[in-house]
Structure 1
Amino acid sequence: MPVSGYDPDDVESQLRAALLAGELEPYLTVAAIERHERGKRLDEMLSAEEIAKVVGSADSDD
């Protein structure tokens, strides 16, 4: 789900980094991760609230 005020490609990049760091495990099932590996965007599988939690925590680390 797109998050207003954020560039979708930037959000997707941050979500991919979070996936590699294991930070998306509470939000995604194994099947969802497999769909991502086949080309589905992470921001299409997560709610705006979930994205804000992950992207917001990445922004606060800067």
Structure 2
Amino acid sequence: MPVPGYDPEDLDEQLEATVSEEELRARMTDEEFRQYENGEHLLDLLDEEDIDELLSEE
């Protein structure tokens, strides 16, 4: 899910740098986490609310 004004790849990298694996597992289903491990971007797997919360925790 692209956010206006942000490069999706940069935002995805920022999320990865901010979030621990444990927090990702808590916010994702097992299937979503498998997709993430297989190269799917966090922006495609997390909903807007999760993304906003994770970025505001910095």
| TM-score class, shorter | 0.7 to 0.9
Report how far residue 31 of structure 1 moved.
Answer: 1.4
For residues 33 and 20 of structure 2, the distance between their equivalents in structure 1, rounded to whole angstroms, comes to 9
Match of 1:23 in 2: 23
TM-score w.r.t. the length of structure 2 is: 0.72
Higher helix share: 2
Tell me the distance in 2 between the aligned counterparts of 1:19 and 1:40: 17
Root mean square deviation of aligned Cα: 1.7
TM-score by length of structure 1 reads 0.69
**Secondary structure in 2 matching 1:5:** coil
Residue 39 of structure 1 deviates from its aligned partner by: 1.6
Superposed structure 1 runs of 4+ greater than 4 Å apart: none
Query: Are the equivalent residues in 2 in contact too, given 1:11–1:55 (CA < 8 A)?
Result: no
> Unpaired runs of 5+ in structure 1?
none
Which blocks of at least 5 consecutive residues in structure 2 are unaligned? Answer: none
Q: Distance in 2 between matches of 1:7 and 1:56?
A: 17
* % identity of equivalent residues: 35
Q: How many residues align?
A: 57
Q: Which residue of 1 aligns with 2:13?
A: 13
